[in-house]
């Protein structure tokens, strides 16, 4: 039998689901954000190391620090969640564990994000020194 | 390099969850929870195993950062020549080792460890 279907006919429906670009762009944009935040993170970690409770409270009382820390954690969780998603998609083939891990991945990121923001705001707003 | 990158890229990810995000988020939780929890938390981090883990986390993250820059440069369209790609691969390893050593030497030198 001769196959009369055109290459286009055979290719249709086999391509991407058209959603990958968003993931790709999100990964790069959050990478750039984290790259910009990295020097501040390193410097802050260095400054806070061994400083103790009150120094840490005072540090987080500065709105700039609270804002930058929230941005760092949200960008980091988003970036990490996207990256782990790819690992699961690439290496977990069985359907149910795959779906479960993908959902767990999102849930963990969301829970840590919410907890972190609440804790940062809690400390920040009770120790505020503008 | 592909193998090195995967652990490099993958490793910090779970560790980010448990390690680094517990260093950042966890730090914020502990700070929010009060002086006693914070003291416990920082004493765990400052213990010998805690410091080893932190050292490895900063190493993994610095390598991930350097290799991430390498990928961003590729995305823009540069650095594909095999010699260049090899050189930047070694550069990423070197950056991670040197920057991590610098960070921890600075911490040690300032008496913060």
Q: Residue A120: closest CA among chain B residues belongs to which residue? A: B28
**A23-39 pLDDT per residue, tens:** 999 999 999 999 999 99
**A73-96 pLDDT per residue, tens:** 999 999 999 999 999 999 999 999
pTM beyond 0.90: the answer is: no
Establish if A84 touches chain B: CB-CB under 8 angstroms.
yes
Q: Do A116 and B13 touch (CB under 8 A)?
A: no
* Mean pLDDT calculated for residue range A3-31: 85
Its ipTM equals 0.83
What's the CATH fold of domain B2-109? 3 helical TM bundles of succinate and fumarate reductases (1.20.1300)
Three-state DSSP string of chain A = CCCCCCHHHHHCCCCCCCCHHHHHHHHHHHHHHHHHHHHHHHHHHHHHCCCCHHHHHHHHHCHHHHHHHHHHHHHHHHHHHHHHHHHHHHHCCCHHHHHHHHHHHHHHHHHHHHHHHHHHHHHHHHCCCC
B83 vs B63: CA distance, rounded Å: 20
Percent of chain A at pLDDT exceeding 90: 78
Asked whether residue A8 is assigned to any structural domain, the reply reads no
Asked whether residue A103 is assigned to any structural domain, the reply reads yes
Mean pLDDT of chain B: 84
Establish if A92 touches chain B: CB-CB under 8 angstroms.
no
Is B88 in contact with B70 (CB distance < 8 Å)? yes
Query: Per-domain residue ranges for chain B?
Result: 2-109
């Amino acid at each position: 039998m001769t196959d009369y279907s055109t290459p286009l006919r055979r290719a249709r429906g086999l391509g991407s689901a058209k959603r990958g670009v968003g993931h790709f762009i999100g990964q790069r944009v959050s990478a750039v954000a984290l790259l910009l935040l990295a020097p501040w993170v390193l410097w802050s970690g260095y400054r806070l190391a061994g400083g103790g409770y009150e120094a840490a409270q005072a540090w987080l009382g500065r709105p700039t620090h609270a804002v930058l820390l929230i941005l760092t954690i949200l960008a980091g969780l988003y970036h990490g969640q996207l990256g782990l998603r790819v690992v699961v998609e690439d290496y977990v083939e069985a359907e149910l564990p795959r779906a479960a891990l993908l959902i767990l991945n999102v849930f963990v990121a969301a829970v840590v994000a919410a907890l972190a923001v609440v804790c940062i705001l809690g400390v920040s707003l009770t120790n505020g020194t503008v | 390099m592909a193998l090195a990158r995967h652990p490099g890229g993958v490793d910090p990810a779970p560790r980010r969850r448990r390690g680094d995000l517990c260093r950042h988020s966890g730090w914020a939780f502990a700070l929010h929870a009060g002086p006693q929890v914070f003291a416990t938390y920082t004493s765990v981090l400052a213990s010998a195993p805690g410091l080893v883990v932190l050292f490895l986390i900063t190493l993994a993250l610095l390598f991930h950062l350097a290799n991430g820059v390498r990928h961003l440069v590729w995305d823009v369209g540069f650095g594909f020549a095999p010699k260049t790609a090899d050189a930047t691969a070694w550069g990423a390893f070197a950056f991670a080792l040197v920057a991590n050593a610098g960070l921890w030497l600075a911490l040690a030198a300032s008496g913060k460890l």
